[in-house]
Amino acid sequence: MIVSITFDVEHDCPPYLTTTRGMEEGLPKLIDLMAEKRVKATFFFTAEMAKRFPELVRRVIDEGHELGSHNYNHERLDKLSRAEGERAIVKSLEVLRRFGEVVSFRAPNLQFPNYYYDVLERNGILVDSSKATYKGYREGVRFFGDVLEVPASTTSSVIRLPWRIQGLIHSHLKEPRVYFAHPWEFVPMQREKIRFDCKFNTGDKAVELLGRLIDHYKREGARFYTMREFYSEYQKLKRE
């Protein structure tokens, strides 16, 4: 069984808020949790958050995790012209690659018109995780040109559901099981004026539930992959 834990590192709950409590409080908790569980994750940073919190980018890299791009400032690619979208992607990579290698990408809101695969390929991106099976994508892990698509399996709020409900959902997911969450989900958001699904069980309860998810898969003997590791594995299969 293959599982991937990924994080979309952005300001708090866009487009509703502009605060950065998730960066200041939530992201350090997540990095600590990954160290405790000995799991490597992929952290898709917006370039804006990387510029504002460079010490957190460095910590992610220093602790052996993968750094990916989540666009420049969480611009939705389906709301931009192709030229505007390409500029945002390129700008994000210019900033993030000052910290280290970046070969993975995830579009904000998982909105990714297919013509951007060519943009990613021309800019050195090897693997994308912008599609989602829960949004109707049915093609599984596959190459689009030379870019490997690794779709997300569930929306982030699933990992904050009570465990007895989560367990039923996880058991029905197809492999690979790719989870994502946001740093702001790991600070209390109950008093914020945002959608209910964005604030229930946020804070320490979310940390507890994510830890329980990881422990569940460890008991099942799962292998945890970063996006870069997915690419290495599927590249071998492509050559065979």
For residues 179 and 220, is the Cβ–Cβ distance under 8 A? no
pLDDT in tens, 1-55: 899 999 999 999 999 999 999 999 999 999 999 999 999 999 999 999 999 999 9
pLDDT in tens, 55-85: 999 999 999 999 999 999 999 999 999 999 9
* CATH classification code of 2-239: 3.20.20.370
pTM of the model: 0.94
**Mean pLDDT of the 121-145 span:** 93
Give the start-to-end residue ranges of the domains of the chain: 2-239
The DSSP secondary-structure symbol of 149 reads: E
Question: Which amino acid would we find at residue 30?
Answer: L
For residues 41 and 7, is the Cβ–Cβ distance under 8 A? yes
User: Which of 21-35, 115-129, 132-146 has the lowest average pLDDT?
Assistant: 132-146
**Backbone Cα Rg of the chain:** 17
